[in-house]
Amino acid sequence: MKQKLFSEKNYSKKCTNCAYGTLTDDKMNVLCQKKGVKEPDDFCRKYKYDPLKRVPQKITLRSDYTAEDFML
């Protein structure tokens, strides 16, 4: 389970997810330790996945619940 949550395979290669990249404050560029200024969606062969930079997908909750949905 833990392996699935943080697996590199589930996320696309992007500079924003790379250990060497830092997203700028305006979120328009990534400052890379290896390649300089890059576009957020770019990547290169030095790409190294950093799970701490992953932004989880937003969860949308249904709003059409009724009282019967919570009855046993």
Task: Tell me: does residue 47 bind ligand SF4 (CB under 6 A).
Answer: yes
Q: How many CA atoms lie within 13 A of 19 on its CB side?
A: 8
The C-alpha atoms of residue 30 and residue 68 are separated, in whole angstroms, by 49
**Per-residue binding letters, 5-24, with ligand SF4 (x by CB under 6 A):** ----------x--x-xx---
Residue closer to ligand SF4 by CB (options 5, 37) is 37
The footprint of ligand SF4 (CB under 6 A) covers 15, 18, 20-21, 30, 32, 34-35, 38, 42-44, 46-47
